[in-house]
Amino acid sequence: MAEEKEQQEQQQEEGKGSKKKLLLILPIILLIVGGGGFAAYKFFLAPKDEGKPAEKIAKEVQNVEDKGVELEVGTFIANLADKDADRYIKVTIVMEVQDEKVKEEATKRMPQIKDAINTLLFTKTSEELKSPEGIERL
């Protein structure tokens, strides 16, 4: 009899232990299955956005068409700051301004703008301008 009670107690303890394990394992399994289902939907079943590139292109074209007013500053030839050789740079600059009012103000201040551009060009070296990043910074 005592042995039967001990066996029943052990079975009950094992039953409680298996319930705890089930409560720990079940959420993990649900997360894995849910993540797999989401990934399958996202990569295989989700509708493709093949029609949207045309809409994006139309918006980009519209943004390009909404340009401001162009103001030609002029062509500049400047010696670069290289010490080992005589090098120069030639650039033509056209500014885009917001509207006609800003264009008039920039036209009034054109000598100051040209002086700032010349000063900037004189300080550059050919090494700074060799890479596309350097040209973009200029």
DSSP 66: T
pTM of the model: 0.49
**Per residue in 17-26, pLDDT tens?**
677 777 788 8
| pLDDT score of 33 | 85
Q: Give the Cβ contact number of residue 93 at 10 Å.
A: 13
Contact status, residue 67 vs residue 37, Cβ threshold 8 Å:
no
Q: Give me the residues of the chain with pLDDT under 70, please.
A: 1-17, 46-66
Nearest to 127 by CA among 118, 114, 137, 117: 137
Which residue segment(s) compose the domain that 113 sits in?
68-137
The pLDDT of residue 70: 86
Residue 62 belongs to a domain: no
pLDDT at residue number 137 = 82
| Domains in the chain, number | 1
Count of residues making up the chain: 138
Residue 77 lies in a domain: yes
> What's the CA gap between 59 and 53, in Å, rounded?
10
76 in a domain, yes or no? yes
| Structure confidence at residue 16 (pLDDT) | 62
